[in-house]
Amino acid sequence: MESRNRGKKKPSLRDLSRLRLTDEERDKLVEQFLKHPSSPIVTAILGQALLENELDQLLRAHFARRDDDTWAKLTDERGPLATFYSKIVAAHAFGICNSVIRDGINTVRQIRNAFAHSKKPLDFSNELIIRELQTVSLPVGKRTKLYKELSEVREFAANSRSNAQRNFIILCMIILNQLLDKKSVRMQAKKRRLTKRLDRLSYRNQLAQALMNFPPGQPVNYLTALLENRTVDPSPPTPLPSLKKDGH
C-alpha cells in the first residue's frame, strides 16, 4: 500500500521561520519587547524578528502569486529572498521602504548578526554597537517627525551608553511603526479598489435587471429612471403623431 504522504515535502526547521505572526501575536511580542527587556541577545533577535515579519507581509503582497508554496520557494535557501538582507534589498526596490528605513533595518540586521555570531559574551555597551547606533541614517527633511526620532536615537547612543539596549529598542519601534503605516496605507488602497469593484458589479446587476424589465416600446429615459430608482409610469408611451403628407 502506497503511503499517503508520498510526494509531499516533509516539514523542516526552516519552515518555522516562514510562519507569519497574527496581529495578536505581534502585539504580545511588542509588549514583551518594550516592557520586559530580556538579555541582550534575545532583544537583538526579537527586534529583527518583528521587522522581518512585517517586511515579509509587505513583500508577499507585491507578488502576483502569494500562496504558501510560492513563498516557500522564494525564501528557500536557493531562493531570491533566502536572507534578511535580500528581503531588505527587494523591499527598497519595490518602494516598500525608502533609503533611510532601508539603512535603519540594515543597522538592526547588523547588530542582530553580531549577537548571533559572536563567540564571546556581548552586550549593547560594546563600542562597535554604539557606533552603529550613532550612525543611523537621517532623512533629508529636518522638520519631519522621522528626522527627530532618528536624531534622538543617535543622541541617546552618544550620551547614554548604559542605555544602548533601550536605544536599539527605540530604533526597532520607529522602523516597525513605519512598516505598519505602509501596510495600513496599502490595506486602505485595497479596500478602496474593492469598494469600486463592488460598485461596478452592483451597477452591472442593476443594469441587467433593468434590461430584463425593459418593456418593449419604452423610451431610453425609462431605463435611466430604473437605474436611478425613480418611480416610472409603467403604461406604454404615447405614440408620436404620424406625419401626414400634403395632397399636392
Query: What's the mean pLDDT when you consider all of the chain?
Result: 81
Q: What CATH number is given for 15-187 in this structure?
A: 1.20.120.330
pLDDT computed for residue 213 by the predictor: 65
Q: Domain spans of the chain?
A: 15-187, 193-227
Give me the phi and psi of 187, to 5 degrees please: -65, -40
For residue 41, the 8-state DSSP code is H
Distances (CA, A) of 236 to 17, 33, 214, 231: 70, 74, 11, 14
Cβ pair 101, 178 in contact under 8 A: yes
Q: What nine digits make up the cell of 16?
A: 518555522
The residues, any chain, with a CB within 8 Å of residue 36's CB and separated by 6 or more, are: none
Residue 153 to residue 135: CA distance in whole angstroms: 9
pLDDT computed for residue 169 by the predictor: 93
Cβ pair 116, 43 in contact under 8 A: no
Q: Which has the higher per-residue pLDDT, 234 or 42? A: 42
Q: What nine digits make up the cell of 79?
A: 531562493
Distances (CA, A) of 149 to 55, 143, 182, 220: 21, 11, 18, 62
For residue 67, the 8-state DSSP code is S
Q: Which has the higher per-residue pLDDT, 100 or 27? A: 100
Q: Residue 18 above 90 pLDDT? A: no
